[in-house]
C-alpha cells in the first residue's frame, strides 16, 4: 500500500443515533487501511427531530425535507472535521460514501408486497458534495430493493473482503441498534442477515427508567434475573422464525412492541426486563449462527455492543465452543467497521463494481449501488 492509493471517506449514522462515525481509509485492491477517524456529535435538537420523524405524524414531508438538509450540512461538517484531523484537503479524497440516516425501513420481508417495499435514508448528498467539494455517493440501499432485495444488510460483502480467511469458518457480527451477522466459509460469504435487536431495546428501556442513553458495560442488565415467560413471548416475534435473506429495524423492535408483550404478564421488575432484553439479543445472535449449515469456529464482534462487557460475556457463554473476540483481533477497530464499510462501498461504486451480496439481501443479482453526486472545485 502506498501514498498513491486512493483515499475514501465513509460516514455512518446508525439506528442508535449516538453519533456520526467518520472514517478515512486508503484502499489498495480489496484491502483497506484506516487513516483517520472522527466521531461527530449530533446536536440534541437534531436527535429529537430524527426521533420524531421515525414514526408517522403531522407535516411529515416538510419536516423530512428540512431534516434532510440539516443532516446533509452536518455530514459535510463532520467530513471537514475529519479532513482537518487527518491534514488532508478535499482534492485528496476520491469519494465520500454516506449511508444517511435511516428514517424508514420496510424491506420485502416485512412489507405487504415486494412492490411496496422501501428503505429511506436522508442527509442530502447534494449538500455534502457542495459543501465539501468531494464527490459523494449515497442512497446505497434502494438499488438493491429495486432489484428485489432487502436493501440490507450491506455489510456482508465488506466483511468477506476484510475478514475472511481460507480454511476457517467465521461469523462477523455488528451489534448496533440492530444486529447483523455475516457467515464466512473460508474466503466465501455463505450467508448474511440481520439477527434482530442489538442495543436498541436496551437503550430505550434504560432511557425510560434511568434517563441514560445506554447501559454502560451492561451493569444494569447484569443486576437482574432473566424472566423466562417474557423471553419466550419476545421470541414469538415473527422475525425470529424467518430464514434466508432478512432484515429488520426499529419498525419491528421498539418500546410500544415491548410494552404490548409486557401487558399480558404479571408486573416484572424493570431490572429483570433489561436482563431479559440482553438475553434476547444474545440468544437471537447465537441461534442465527447455530442455524447456519456449517459450524462456525470463530465469532468477531464490531459495533457499539462490543463495548458492553456483560453482553460480550453472555454471548461468549452461549456461543461456546466457538471463540468470541472483537474485530480488532482480525485487524480492525470494532468502532469503525461500519463507517469503513461505506467508504469501501463508495470505492466499489466509483470503480463500477457491485456492492451488494445477493446471498444476504435476496436481490436478483449483484448491482452497482448508490447515486453519484459530483464534487466541485472549491475555489470557484
Ligand X SMILES: Nc1ncnc2c1ncn2[C@@H]1O[C@H](COP(=O)(O)OP(=O)(O)O)[C@@H](O)[C@H]1O
- Which of Mg ion, ligand X, none interacts with 214 (beta carbon under 5 to 8 A by kind)? ligand X
| Minimum CB–partner distance for residue 281 and ligand X (Å) | 10
Per-residue x/- marks for ligand X, 95-134, CB under 6 A?
----------------------------------------
| Minimum CB–partner distance for residue 218 and ligand X (Å) | 6
Q: In this structure, how many other beta carbons lie within 10 angstroms of the beta carbon of residue 208?
A: 14
Q: Indicate which single residue of 38, 40, 204, 307 sits in contact with ligand X (rule: CB under 6 A).
A: 307
* Separation CA 338–CA 303 (nearest Å): 7
Query: Is residue 333 within the footprint of ligand X (CB under 6 A)?
Result: no
User: What is the total count of residues that contact Mg ion (CB under 5 A)?
Assistant: 3
| Minimum CB–partner distance for residue 228 and Mg ion (Å) | 32
Q: Which is nearer to ligand X, 129 or 178 (CB)?
A: 178
Span 147-206, contacts to ligand X by CB under 6 A: 176-177, 199, 203
Cell numbers that stand for 152 in this block: 440490507
Strand bridging mode 323-326 / 298-302: parallel
Alpha helices in the chain (DSSP H): 44-53, 60-86, 125-132, 141-146, 155-163, 200-210, 219-222, 228-234, 255-263, 270-290, 309-319, 337-350, 358-361
Do residues 158 and 192 touch, judged by C-beta distance below 8 A?
no
Q: Which is nearer to ligand X, 5 or 333 (CB)?
A: 333
* ∠ Cα 322 194 283 (to 5°): 45
Span 8-47, contacts to Mg ion by CB under 5 A: 14, 16, 18
Q: Indicate which single residue of 8, 9, 10, 15 sits in contact with ligand X (rule: CB under 6 A).
A: 15
* Separation CA 80–CA 127 (nearest Å): 13
Per-residue x/- marks for ligand X, 220-249, CB under 6 A?
------------------------------
DSSP characters for 189-226? EEEEEEEEESSHHHHHHHHHHH--SS-GGGHHHHTS--
In the bound state, the residue with its beta carbon closest to ligand X is: 304
| Minimum CB–partner distance for residue 145 and ligand X (Å) | 20
| Minimum CB–partner distance for residue 2 and ligand X (Å) | 31
Query: Is residue 215 within the footprint of ligand X (CB under 6 A)?
Result: yes
Q: Which is nearer to Mg ion, 16 or 341 (CB)?
A: 16
User: What is the total count of residues that contact ligand X (CB under 6 A)?
Assistant: 19
Buried b (16+ CB within 10 A) or exposed e, 282-305: bbbbbebbeebeeebebbbbbbbb
Q: In this structure, how many other beta carbons lie within 10 angstroms of the beta carbon of residue 81?
A: 16
- Cα separations in angstroms, 275 against 218, 269, 317: 9, 10, 15
- Which of ligand X, Mg ion, none interacts with 303 (beta carbon under 5 to 8 A by kind)? ligand X
- Residues lying near Mg ion in the complex (CB under 5 A): 14, 16, 18
Amino acid at each position: 500500500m502506498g501514498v498513491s492509493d486512493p483515499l475514501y471517506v465513509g460516514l455512518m449514522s446508525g439506528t442508535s443515533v449516538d453519533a456520526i462515525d467518520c472514517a478515512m481509509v486508503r484502499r489498495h485492491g480489496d484491502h483497506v487501511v484506516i487513516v483517520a477517524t472522527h466521531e461527530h456529535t449530533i446536536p440534541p435538537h437534531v436527535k429529537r427531530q430524527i426521533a420524531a420523524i421515525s414514526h408517522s405524524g403531522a407535516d411529515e414531508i416538510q419536516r423530512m425535507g428540512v431534516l434532510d438538509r440539516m443532516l446533509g450540512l452536518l455530514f459535510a461538517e463532520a467530513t471537514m472535521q475529519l479532513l482537518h484531523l487527518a491534514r488532508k484537503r478535499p482534492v485528496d479524497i476520491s469519494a465520500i460514501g454516506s449511508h444517511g440516516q435511516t428514517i424508514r425501513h420496510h424491506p420485502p420481508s416485512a412489507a405487504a408486497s415486494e412492490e411496496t417495499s422501501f428503505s429511506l435514508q436522508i442527509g442530502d448528498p447534494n449538500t455534502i458534495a457542495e459543501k465539501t467539494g468531494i464527490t459523494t455517493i449515497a442512497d446505497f440501499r434502494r438499488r438493491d430493493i429495486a432489484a428485489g432485495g432487502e436493501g440490507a444488510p450491506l455489510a456482508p460483502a465488506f466483511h468477506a473482503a476484510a475478514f475472511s480467511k481460507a480454511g476457517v469458518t467465521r461469523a462477523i457480527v455488528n451489534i448496533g441498534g440492530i444486529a447483523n451477522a455475516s457467515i464466512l466459509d473460508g474466503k466465501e460469504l455463505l450467508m448474511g442477515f440481520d439477527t434482530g435487536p442489538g442495543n436498541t431495546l436496551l437503550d430505550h428501556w434504560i432511557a425510560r427508567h434511568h434517563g441514560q442513553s445506554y447501559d454502560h458495560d451492561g451493569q444494569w442488565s447484569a443486576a437482574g434475573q432473566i424472566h423466562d415467560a417474557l423471553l419466550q413471548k419476545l421470541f414469538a416475534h415473527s422475525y425470529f422464525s424467518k430464514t434466508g435473506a432478512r432484515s429488520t429495524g426499529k419498525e419491528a423492535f421498539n418500546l410500544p412492541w415491548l410494552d404490548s408483550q409486557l401487558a399480558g404478564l404479571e408486573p416484572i421488575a424493570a431490572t429483570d426486563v433489561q436482563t431479559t432484553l440482553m438475553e434476547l439479543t444474545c440468544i437471537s445472535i447465537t441461534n442465527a449462527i447455530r442455524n447456519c449449515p456449517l459450524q462456525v469456529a470463530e465469532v468477531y464482534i464490531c459495533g457499539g455492543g462490543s463495548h458492553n462487557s456483560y453482553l460480550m460475556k453472555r454471548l461468549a457463554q452461549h456461543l461456546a465452543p466457538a471463540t468470541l473476540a472483537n474485530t480488532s483481533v482480525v485487524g480492525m477497530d470494532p468502532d469503525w467497521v461500519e463507517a469503513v464499510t461505506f467508504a469501501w462501498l463508495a470505492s466499489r461504486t466509483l470503480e463500477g463494481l457491485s456492492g451488494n451480496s445477493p446471498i444476504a439481501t435476496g436481490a436478483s443479482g449483484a448491482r452497482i449501488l448508490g447515486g453519484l453526486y459530483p464534487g466541485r472545485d472549491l475555489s470557484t
